[in-house]
Structure 1
Amino acid sequence: MLTPEILHALHNLPLAAKQAAEGFLHGQHQSRRHGTGMEFSQYRPYQPGDDLRRLDWRLAARSDRYYLRESEVDTSLTVHLLLDATASMNHRDDNGLRKLDYARLLLAALAYIATQQGDAVGLTILHPAGLQHLPPRADARQLARLYHALETTEATGTFPDAGTLAPLTARRQRALTVCVSDLYEQDSEIESLLKRLRTTSGEVLLLHVLARNELEFTFRGAITFEDLETGQRLQLDADQQRTTWQQQLQAWLETTAQQARRRGFDYHQLSTADPLDRAMREFMRRRMLLS
């Protein structure tokens, strides 16, 4: 299985996304259901109560039996990808991968999968100075647009204010919103945005990305930590503080997960060391439930 480090080392986001997604999609079938769409699928015998308008009378005349024409309709969705590109996403793991690098790979792979499923895919990158927004489309060039936006994005500053975020929730549009963030916030601003998106768009899949060195606190000796968004610094002895750090982190993670699920978000915690297939599996599971 291709690890995030190997995919990142390709220095080619379209190729990395395709490699990760196609390995996952192997054996997957396009999401379709039987219905009354335009693409003919099969016949089935008439049963009492069926709509007589769907009977194939020519076949009935030839065979003296009654059959209904069934069709297949695509169960495509609108998928809205949301990237937290604030400065805390620049935190680098021991494997050299930033949280932003992992998020890019993940969202690129999800965009590839959604495109293969026939979905209209859009992307919003959250910057303090404004929103970089690509409206959902299902045309052939959309994937290249998404890749370019992800490749050229850098993480800076703090989370946008409510006024900057207002256009995202200005109108109702049914969609599956996939947010990738480390959920570092000053005053519940990320939660507030996702609550509004849950109301206006429907489903929210929240992928909470943390570096493994944060989760396992792999630091040693005297060390200075700097808040990448505020510039505040903290000096401590990592060996002495390891147990306290991990206890407080676990308490925060448990509270975060509980609150997210209470708000109706489909919440999953990820590490920058995790293969992408776990998140892709959750995306496909949620997508199938909506189809």
Structure 2
Amino acid sequence: MLTPEHLHHLRNLSLAARQAAEGFLNGAHASRRHGAGLEFSQYRPYQPGDDLRRLDWRLAARSDRYYLRESEVDTSLTVHLLLDASASMNHRDDNGLSKLDYARLLLAALAYLAHQQGDAVGLTILGPAGLRHLPPRADARQLPRLYHALETAEAAGRFPGAATLAPLTARRLRALTVCVSDLYEEDAEINTLLSRLRAVSGDVLLLHLMAGNELAFSYQGSVTLKDLETGQTLQLDADQQRPAYRQQLQAWLRDTAHAARSHGLDYHQLSTTNPLDQAMREFLRRRAAA
């Protein structure tokens, strides 16, 4: 299993996504149903109201009976990927990866998995300047579009406000929504958005991304911490504050997970030090249940 650092150092998002995802494509996650697809499965007798274009006229000429050709098609979903591109995603871990770097790799791998399953995949990048939106598609050129959008995404400012986010919940579109965010927010605006998407779209998988040095508070001695979104700074002794920090962090993580799940979100915490397999496994599990 390639580490996130190795994938990032490839400097090729398309290659990194394929390398990370291909190990998860063993085993058939796609189910089958009969319909008007391309791969022939069986005949069935014609019934009034059936589409005559599927009638096998040669068989009818030979047998004086009317049969329709049925085929097998993969079941597919609409997958809507959301990237939090607020400034806090610029936080960099000790391994050199920022949260945004990790999120790019993860969402690219999930897009690759979904595309291989025949799903229509879309992407929305949530930034203070507005929404960068690629509508869901299943055509061959969609992955390059998604990769380019992810590669050129930049994190800045604060999480967008309700007016900017309104188009996301303006109409009902059945989809599996996957959001990658560090949940740095002022007034539960991210959870509010995802709860509304849960109501209008269906399943929401929330991947809560934290940096390893945030979780461990691995800083040493006297440090100055800067809020990437407000610019405020705080000077402290890291060794002295570590026990209290860890205690408060664990309480916040418990409360955050509880709040998300109470709103019907499928919540999972990730670290930028973790391989991508945990998140891909959760995605495939959620997809299979959809």
Deviations 1:203-224 (A, max 9, x none): 1000000001110111100001
Q: Which amino acid aligns with 1:84?
A: D
Cα displacement (A) at 1:72: 2.3
Deviation at 1:201, TM superposition (A): 0.6
- Of the structure 1 ranges 195-204 and 27-36, higher mean CA displacement relative to structure 2 is found in 27-36
Distance, in Å, in 2 between the alignment partners of 1:103 and 1:113 is 15
Tell me the equivalent position of 1:35.
34
Partner of 2:206: 206
- Tell me the equivalent position of 2:132: 132
What's the CA shift string for 1:42-77, capped at 9, x where partnerless?
Answer: 569xxxxx99959x9x8xx99xxxxx9874232111
Q: Distance in 1 between matches of 2:45 and 2:226?
A: 67
Distance 2:159 2:249 in 1: 21
CA contact (8 A) 1:34 1:70 kept: no
**Cα deviation per residue 1:159-205 (whole Å; 9 max; x = unaligned)?**
11111111111110000000000000011110111011111111100
State the alpha-carbon separation in 2 of the partners of residues 39 and 137 from structure 1. 19
Amino acid across the alignment from 1:120: A
Which letter does structure 2 place at the counterpart of 1:195? S
Alignment correspondent of 1:47: none
Distance in structure 1 (CA, Å) of the matches to 2:20 and 2:31: 23
What is the aligned partner in structure 2 of residue 65 from structure 1? Answer: none
| Structure 1: runs of 5+ lacking an equivalent | 45-49, 63-67
Residues 175 and 202 in structure 1, CA contact (< 8 A), matched pair in contact too: yes
Aligned residue number for residue 227 of structure 2? 227
Conserved 8 A contact 1:32-1:72: no
* Unmatched runs of 5 consecutive residues or more in structure 2: 51-55
Please say if residues 112 and 143 of structure 2, whose CA atoms lie closer than 8 Å, have aligned partners that are also in contact: yes
Identity in percent: 71
Structure 2: distance between partners of 1:30 and 1:282: 13
Partner of 1:165: 165
Q: Residues of 2 paired with 1:91 and 1:195: CA distance?
A: 26
Q: Secondary structure of 1:225's match?
A: strand
Please state how far the C-alpha of 1:38 moved relative to its aligned partner.
3.8
Q: Distance in 1 between matches of 2:160 and 2:90?
A: 17
Q: Secondary structure at the match of 2:203?
A: strand
- Is the counterpart of residue 271 in structure 1 residue 271 in structure 2? yes
CA distance in 1 between counterparts of 2:211 and 2:275 reads 13
2: CA distance, partners of 1:200 / 1:30: 26
> How far apart are the structure 2 equivalents of 1:29 and 1:38?
18
1:247 Cα deviation after fit: 0.3
Give the secondary-structure state (helix, strand or coil) at the position aligned to 1:72.
Answer: strand
Give the residue type in structure 1 aligned to 2:113: I
Contact preservation (8 Å) 1:4, 1:272 = yes
Matched, 1:24 2:2: no
Aligned equivalents of 2:228 and 2:91: distance in 1?
Answer: 8
Aligned length: 277
CA RMSD of aligned residues (A): 2.3
**TM-score, normalization by structure 1:** 0.89
Matched residue, 1:2:
2
* 1:101 counterpart SS class: helix
SS class of match (2:235): strand
Cα displacement (A) at 1:33: 2.2
**Distance in structure 1 (CA, Å) of the matches to 2:46 and 2:148:** 51
The Cα offsets for residues 81-136 of structure 1, whole Å up to 9 and x where unpaired, read as 00000000000000000000000000000001111111110000001011100011
Using the TM superposition, give the Cα deviation of residue 34 of structure 1 relative to its aligned residue in structure 2, in angstroms.
Answer: 3.2
Aligned to 1:246: 246
TM-score, normalising length: structure 2: 0.90
Instruction: For 2:165, give the aligned amino acid.
Output: L
Partner of 1:149: 149
Q: Are the aligned partners of 2:5 and 2:95 in contact in 1 as well (CA < 8 Å)?
A: yes
Output the CA distance in 2 between the equivalents of 1:288 and 1:264: 17
* Alpha carbons of structure 1 residues 76 and 241: separation in structure 2 relative to 1, 3 Å: same
